[in-house]
Amino acid sequence: MTEGAETPSRPEARRLTPADVHPRQSLGGFALAPDGRRIALLQVRDRRAAPDAQRGRVEETPLADVCLLPAGGGYPQPLTATGDVPHPAVWSPDGRRLLLERDGALRSVPLDGGPALPVFSGALYRPRLAPGDAHLGTPRWSPDGRSILLAVREAPETSLLLVGADGRTQRRLMTVAGTIAGWDWAPDGRRAVVVTLGEDAREGTVHLLDVADGAVRTLWREAHAGYQKPLAAWADGEQIVLRSNRSGWSKLLVFSAGGPEDGLRALTTGAWDESAFRLSADRRRLVFASRADQPGSGDDLWSVPVAGGAPARLTRHPGVNVPYGWGPDGRIAYWHSSPTEPGDLWSIAPDDGSGAGPAPQRLTWSAPLELEAKLRPPDEVVLTAADGQAVSALVYLPAGHEPGRRYPPIVWVKGGPTGAARFDYAPLLSWLANEGFLVVTPNYRGSTGYGVPFMEAVAGDGLGRSDLADVLAAGEFARAHPAADTARGAGIGGRSWGGYLTLMAVTRAPEAFACAVAGAAISDWTVQQAQTETRAYDRWLVGGWLYEREALARERSPVAGAGRVKAPLFVYHGEADLNVPFAQIGPFVDRVRQAGASVEYVTYPLEGHSNQLPANQADVLEKTRAFFRRHLQPWNFRDNPTAGQTG
C-alpha cells in the first residue's frame, strides 16, 4: 500500500444489496388519458425467473398490473390485480376504454366496469424502442376509435394489420422484410405514417400508407438508423415530424405528407442529440428531450412549435428526462431519473411568461429513502485517448467518500458497443464503488450520443482498436486520479461488449491491468458470427461477413492473444447465451490456463446473455466483489487474506 493511502471504509449501511442492483419491482409504461386527468401505468410487483424446458433457457416473467394515477398525483388505483399484463395499456380516443394484452390476446377493457371485448388473438410484435418512443410501437386506435393498427411478426417478415375495435374484422395492410419500428395515424384517420427497418436494422424507411386501399409510398430513407431509430409522428394537418440522423446527429425535422420535396424544415439544429418527443393535444407543438446546453450526458425537456421557431427550455432537472404525454391543459407528464434517483413520474406546466420557468411536480415516489442514501452522483469528465480523441467518462466514488481517502481504481466497461453511460441510474456502478473502489466508465468510440461518426468509428477496421484505445486511456486516467490507490494496480471489468473489451485489454496490453472480470464476452469472432442470433449486427461491426473479413476477425479476437495474458481473470458466461454464444469461451479459458495465467471460470446452466435467476445474479456480484477485493485492496489477516494466508 502506498504511503498516505487509507483503507476505504465500507459501512454496511451504504452497501447495496443484490436486490438493489437487480430490482424486482418497477413502474413504467405511462400513458396520459386524452382528457389529461389520469395516467395509466404498468406496475411490476415481481419478476419471476424459471427454467423453460421447451426453450432450454431461463425465462423471466414480470408480474405486472395496470394502475390509474390522478394526473395531479396521489395513490395509484389498480385496474387489474392478476399480475398478467405484460405490456403498457393504450387509451381509446374518448378515454373510456383501455387496450390490454393478456394471455396472448388483445382486449378492449371499459373503465365503467363492463365486460372486456376481445379484439385480436395472437402474439403481437412490439419493436424495441427507447422509453418515450414506445407508444409509436404499440397497438394504436384510429382517431374515430373504430379501428386499431397493430403489428405481427413471422421472421424475417413483419406485417401491419388493421383490426376492427369490435374484433370482427382484420386486414393485412403491409408486409416488410425486416421490422416495423413505429406507426402513427393521420388526423383524418385515412392514412398512416410507418417507419420500417431493414433486416440488419442499419437502414430505415418512412412510408405513407393509405389505410383504405393499402397503397404505400416511400417518403424518406435513413442511412444511419443504428444510431437512434428514426421515428415519425403526424402533426397538425398535412405535416409529419421526423427524428432523423441524416445530419450526423439525431435531430427533428418536419415535412409535408406530400414528401420532403414539398418542403423540408429543421425544427432543431446543433451538434447534439434530440431523443423522445411528444406532440401536444392539438398537434401544433411538441416537447422533446435534448442535450442542448448540457455540459454532461444528461438532458432536459424543450418545446417548439411545429410551425417553427426557437425551442424553449422547460426543465433544468439534472439527469435523464423523458416526455410521456401532453395534456389538453398543456401540462406535460415526464419521467425523470438520475444517479441518485432510480426514476419517477413528474409533471410540469407551460412557462407562464414570468421568465422564472415552471416548477416541476413529482407524482410518484418509487425508491425508498434508504436506497437513495446509498447513492452518490458520479463526476463527469473528459479524457483524451492516445490518438487525441476526446472521450467522456463517469467517475464513481463510494457514497461515504471524504476528501483525502483513496481507493483501488477499476475501469468498468459498459456493454454495447452502441448506447452510452449517462448521468442516469446505474446501480451496478454505485454498488461497485460502495464496495471500496474508484470506478471509471468511459463512453468509448462506438457509443451513441456523440454523433454518427463517433459511433461508426468502432465498425470495420476500428473494431477492437479505436474502442480499446479509449478504454486504455480510461485506465491511465483512473490510475492518475487523486482518489486512486494504485499500490496493487488497477482492475478492469465488463459484460457483453464490455467483456469483449476487457479480454482485448488483457491480451493486447497485458501490463495495463492487475486483474480483470469478463462476463458474456466475445472471445472468438469466427464462432461469434457463425452462431449468434444477431448476425446482421455483427456483420456491421466486423465490416462484412466472416469470409470477407476473416483476417480482421481473427486478429481482433481475444483468443488470438490468450497466451499473452498475465492478469488473473474471473470469467463467467450463461450456457444458453444466444447473443454471445457460449461455445467460444471455453477454448479461450483453456488457452489462458495453458499459458500459465490464473482463471476463475464459472458457467450458469440455462442462463442466456444476462442472468435472470436471483441466485445467479447474487452469485456474480459476490464473486466479482471477492475477486476485485482479493486482487486490488490491501491485504490483511482478518478479512482480506491472500490465498496463502487462508491455507
Q: With respect to residue 40, please indicate whether it lies within any of the assigned structural domains.
A: yes
C-alpha cell at 511: 501490463
Q: With respect to residue 404, please indicate whether it lies within any of the assigned structural domains.
A: yes
Q: With respect to residue 226, please indicate whether it lies within any of the assigned structural domains.
A: no
pLDDT computed for residue 535 by the predictor: 87
The Cα–Cα gap between 342 and 21 comes to 11
The Cα–Cα gap between 628 and 618 comes to 16
Confidence of residue 7 (pLDDT cuts 50, 70, 90): very low
Confidence of residue 253 (pLDDT cuts 50, 70, 90): very high
**What is the pLDDT of the chain when averaged over all its residues?**
92
Instruction: Find where cell 466486423 sits.
Output: 542
The Cα–Cα gap between 561 and 502 comes to 13
Query: Domain ends where: 82, 99, 120?
Result: 120
Residue 365 has pLDDT above 70, yes or no: yes
Q: With respect to residue 500, please indicate whether it lies within any of the assigned structural domains.
A: yes
Confidence of residue 645 (pLDDT cuts 50, 70, 90): very low
The Cα–Cα gap between 152 and 142 comes to 18
Q: What is the CATH number of the domain that holds 589?
A: 3.40.50.1820
Q: With respect to residue 50, please indicate whether it lies within any of the assigned structural domains.
A: yes
Instruction: Find where cell 464490455 sits.
Output: 498
Confirm if 225 and 197 have CB atoms less than 8 A apart.
yes
Q: With respect to residue 46, please indicate whether it lies within any of the assigned structural domains.
A: yes
Q: With respect to residue 345, please indicate whether it lies within any of the assigned structural domains.
A: no
Confidence of residue 639 (pLDDT cuts 50, 70, 90): low
User: Nearest-CA neighbor of 393 among 463, 444, 445, 450?
Assistant: 444
**Mean pLDDT to the nearest integer, 491-515:** 97
pLDDT computed for residue 431 by the predictor: 97
386-399 pLDDT, tens digit each? 999 999 999 999 99
80-138 pLDDT, tens digit each? 999 999 999 999 999 999 999 998 899 999 998 889 999 999 989 999 999 899 999 99
pLDDT computed for residue 53 by the predictor: 81
Query: Domain ends where: 61, 93, 120?
Result: 120
11-30 pLDDT, tens digit each? 577 899 999 999 999 999 99
Instruction: Find where cell 481473427 sits.
Output: 554
**Mean pLDDT to the nearest integer, 187-199:** 95
SS3 394: strand
pLDDT computed for residue 11 by the predictor: 59
528-569 pLDDT, tens digit each? 999 988 888 899 999 999 889 999 999 999 999 999 999 999
How is 48-86 classified by DSSP, letter by letter? EEEEETTTTEEEEEEEEEEEEEETT--PPEES--SSB--
Query: Domain ends where: 63, 86, 120?
Result: 120
What's the domain count of the chain? 2
pLDDT computed for residue 500 by the predictor: 98
Confirm if 233 and 184 have CB atoms less than 8 A apart.
yes
Q: Where are the beta strands (DSSP E) in 535-576?
A: 569-574
30-39 pLDDT, tens digit each? 999 999 999 9
Cα separations (Å) of 230 from 159, 197, 277, 377? 18, 9, 12, 32
Q: With respect to residue 164, please indicate whether it lies within any of the assigned structural domains.
A: no
Global pTM reads 0.94
User: What is the extent of the structural domain holding 624?
Assistant: 12-16+374-636
Is 259 exposed, middle or buried (CB count within 10 Å of its CB: 0-12, 13-18, 19+)? middle
**Mean pLDDT to the nearest integer, 270-298:** 94
SS3 278: strand
pLDDT computed for residue 1 by the predictor: 37
Residue 327 has pLDDT above 90, yes or no: no
Provide the edge-to-edge strand list for the sheet that holds 515-519.
379-384, 390-396, 438-442, 409-413, 491-495, 515-519, 569-574, 599-604
**Mean pLDDT to the nearest integer, 367-389:** 93
Confirm if 543 and 549 have CB atoms less than 8 A apart.
yes
